[in-house]
């Protein structure tokens, strides 16, 4: 693991709070922890959280790993086996593969389970649902849960939340509850929501972040980005992920294996220049489109593809990948990645009616790969209604689909941070 220089910072994560107040674990003598290598304290990002907690005397006895495994190197959707942690020597129970939640036996000898896994702020990122299943399992087993909270990398501006809010018949491991695609909450706040609405008997404690500004995205924290999964190597990928992940359900590549995953979509047959021109004319907020060629390692593996890259536009003729701190507020407040993804889908499909196709996406959670677009977007009417619209109709439809209804009212009682 490459070392990262520790720098004093104003922002602190939940794990920093627990390290500063070990007594918050109370009398717990046997503690489990759901985590991965991306989870690190803000005060010392060179150490995985579990290593720092063990050094501070927190009695961890068992680890649980989400999708991609403890080392977060397993391929997207790949089943992960149980194992042993090379850093701590502790047994690791996989929560993505043979099981998606801990069993009663795996929880029965624990006094407390910690959850510290970084999120990217999109409903279909599966770490969210590992937390959901953990709450369900711990409620049934009578084991308390402590969430070590982290900032939402896209910011916490509820006015920037984007639907659709998931329909119940689209429920899956990329969406177990009716929340928007871009929800604007932290995982700690989502845990509080699910305790309130779904698992009222679970004993839940959330250790909050300190110094986080909800009106700005990740670069404003000053904390280095640690890749949260193989295709999330930089914050720039997280910016557009809520929209460009929708292309997983098509025969285009989302750039896995390139330097631009989820910042780029492409295919050998794509007329990228024409797509860029049409999208640029839409004037979508905070976005600029450029033609870029790449050779992916998944869809169209090994084949050079023309593609469309999305950049954050500062509105003054400049654009970058979204990692510059001055653009952090724009990312949190102005861009609409889900709407952008839907417009991009429409333009590409309408321009290439014979080449474009919907596609399955097999994973350990959905072995057949079927129904993937509906599971991602959370609304079955979108796929059949999106294509063939003119620009005016598309704007109206996309605005309706990406609405979030009374989401702000629903979550108001569980908010931790000032909005």
pLDDT of amino acid 5:
42
Q: What is residue 325's predicted lDDT score, i.e. its pLDDT?
A: 73
Give, rounded to a whole angstrom, the gap between the first and last alpha carbons of the chain: 36
pLDDT level of residue 52 (50, 70, 90 thresholds): very high
Q: Which positions ≥6 away from 187 have C-beta within 8 Å?
A: 115, 117, 119, 127, 128, 131, 147, 149, 150
* Beta-carbon contacts of residue 393 (< 8 Å; ≥ 6 apart): none
Which residue in 68, 92, 70 sits closest to 79, CA to CA? 68
Count of C-beta atoms within a 10 Å radius of residue 325: 13
pLDDT band at 259 (very low <50, low <70, confident <90, very high): very high
How far, rounded to the nearest angstrom, does the alpha carbon of residue 194 sit from its chain's CA centroid? 18
Instruction: Tell me the per-residue pLDDT of 12-27, one tens digit each, with 9 for 90 and over.
Output: 999 999 999 999 999 9
pLDDT grade, residue 9 (50/70/90)?
low
Question: What is the chain's mean pLDDT, rounded?
Answer: 95
What is the sign of the dihedral through the CA atoms of 35, 89, 105 and 21?
negative
pLDDT band at residue 30 using 50, 70 and 90 as cut-offs: very high
**Are β-strands 91-94 and 60-65 bridged in parallel, bridged antiparallel, or unpaired?**
parallel
For every residue of 117-143, DSSP letters joined together read ----SBTT-THHHHHHHHHHHHHHHT-
Beta strands in 232-320 (DSSP E): 264-267, 287-294, 305-313, 319-320
> d(Cα 391, Cα 165) in Å, to the nearest integer?
23
pLDDT at 374: 98
State the pairing for strand pair 305-313/204-207: unpaired
* pLDDT reading at 2 higher than 80: no
Mean pLDDT of 45-50: 96
pLDDT of residue 103: 98
Residue bearing tokens 């979550």: 411
Query: pLDDT-derived band of residue 112, with 50, 70 and 90 as boundaries?
Result: very high
H or E segment to which residue 34 belongs: strand 31-35
pLDDT of residue 326: 78
Q: Say if residue 131's pLDDT is above 80.
A: yes
Residue-wise pLDDT for 97-106, tens only, equals 999 999 999 9
Q: Percentage of the chain with pLDDT > 90?
A: 94
* Distance (Å, whole) CA 149 – CA 182: 18
Q: Provide DSSP, 63-85.
A: EEE-TTTTTT-SPTT-----EE-
Token duo for residue 94: 């996989």
What domains appear along the chain, each with residue ranges and CATH number?
14-224 (3.40.50.12170), 235-357 (3.90.1150.140)
Residue closest to 242 by CA, chosen among 152, 348, 328: 152
> Residues 342-398: pLDDT tens digits?
999 999 999 999 999 999 999 999 999 999 999 999 999 999 999 999 999 999 999
Task: Quickly count: other Cβ atoms within 10 Å of residue 286's Cβ.
Answer: 22
Q: What is the mean pLDDT of residues 166-179?
A: 97
Q: Tell me what pLDDT residue 318 has.
A: 66
Between CA 85 and CA 63 the distance in angstroms is 8
User: By mean pLDDT, which of 134-138, 323-327, 396-400 is the weakest?
Assistant: 323-327
In the chain, how many H helices and how many E strands?
13, 11
Query: The pTM is what?
Result: 0.95
Strands 31-35 and 60-65: parallel
Q: Which two tokens stand for residue 305?
A: 């593809």
317 pLDDT tier (thresholds 50, 70, 90): low
For the cut 60, the answer to whether the pLDDT of residue 209 exceeds it is yes
Instruction: Give the 3-state secondary structure of residue 339.
Output: helix
Cis status, amide bond into 164, omega within 30 of 0: yes
Per-residue pLDDT averaged across 123-141, rounded? 98
Query: Is-contact 126 361, C-beta < 8 A?
Result: no
Please report, to the nearest 10 degrees, the dihedral formed by the alpha carbons of residues 79, 85, 90, 94 taken in order.
Answer: -10
Distance of CA 223 to the CA centre of its chain: 18
- Could you give the CA distance from residue 133 to residue 31 in angstroms, rounded to a whole number? 18
Tell me the β-bridge partners of 114: 33, 146
Would you say residue 195 has pLDDT above 50? yes
Provide the H-helix boundaries in 172-327: 187-197, 235-244, 272-280
**pLDDT at residue 6 in the model:** 42
pLDDT exceeds 60 at position 4: no
Six-digit token pair at 66? 């989400």
* Percent of the chain surpassing pLDDT 70: 96
DSSP sequence for 150-203: ---TT---GGG-B-PPPPGGG-BTTB-SS--SB----HHHHHHHHHHHT-TTS-
Per-residue pLDDT averaged across 193-207, rounded?
98
Residue 324 in this model has a pLDDT that exceeds 60:
yes
């Amino acid at each position: 693991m490459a070392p990262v220089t520790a720098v004093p910072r104003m922002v602190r994560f939940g794990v920093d709070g627990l390290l500063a107040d070990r007594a918050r674990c109370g009398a717990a003598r046997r503690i489990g922890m759901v985590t991965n290598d991306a989870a690190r304290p803000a005060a010392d990002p060179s150490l995985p959280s579990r290593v720092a907690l063990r050094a501070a005397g927190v009695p961890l006895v068992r680890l649980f790993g989400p999708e991609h495994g403890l080392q977060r190197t397993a391929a997207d959707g790949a089943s992960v086996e149980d194992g042993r942690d090379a850093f701590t020597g502790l047994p690791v129970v996989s929560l993505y593969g043979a099981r998606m939640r801990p069993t009663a036996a795996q929880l029965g000898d624990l006094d407390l389970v910690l959850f510290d896994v970084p999120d990217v702020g999109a409903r279909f990122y599966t770490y969210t649902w590992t937390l959901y299943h953990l709450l369900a399992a711990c409620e049934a087993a009578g084991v308390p849960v402590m969430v070590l909270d982290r900032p939402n990398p896209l910011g916490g501006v509820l006015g920037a939340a984007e639907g659709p809010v998931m329909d119940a018949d689209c429920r899956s491991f990329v969406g177990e509850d009716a929340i928007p695609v871009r929800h604007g909450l932290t995982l700690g706040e989502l845990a509080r929501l699910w305790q309130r609405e779904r698992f009222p008997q679970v004993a839940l404690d959330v250790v909050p972040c300190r110094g986080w500004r909800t009106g700005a995205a990740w670069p404003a924290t000053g904390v280095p980005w640690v890749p949260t999964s193989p295709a999330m190597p930089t914050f720039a990928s997280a910016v557009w992920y809520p929209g460009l992940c929708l292309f997983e359900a098509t025969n285009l590549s989302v750039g896995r294996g390139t330097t631009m995953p989820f910042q780029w979509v492409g295919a050998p047959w794509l007329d990228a220049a024409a797509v860029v021109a049409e999208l640029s004319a839409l004037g979508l907020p905070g976005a600029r489109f450029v033609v870029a060629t790449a050779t992916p390692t998944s869809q169209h593996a090994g084949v050079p593809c023309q593609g469309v890259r999305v950049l954050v536009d500062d509105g003054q003729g400049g654009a970058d990948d979204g990692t510059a701190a001055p653009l952090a507020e724009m990312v949190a407040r102005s861009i609409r990645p889900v709407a952008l993804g839907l417009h991009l889908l429409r333009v590409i499909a309408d321009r290439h009616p014979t080449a474009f196709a919907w596609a399955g996406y097999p994973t350990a959670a959905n072995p057949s790969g079927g129904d993937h677009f509906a599971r991602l977007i959370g609304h079955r009417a979108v796929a059949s209604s999106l294509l063939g619209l003119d620009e005016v109709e598309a704007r109206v439809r996309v605005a309706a689909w990406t609405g979030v209804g009374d989401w702000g009212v629903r979550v108001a009682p569980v908010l931790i941070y000032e909005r």
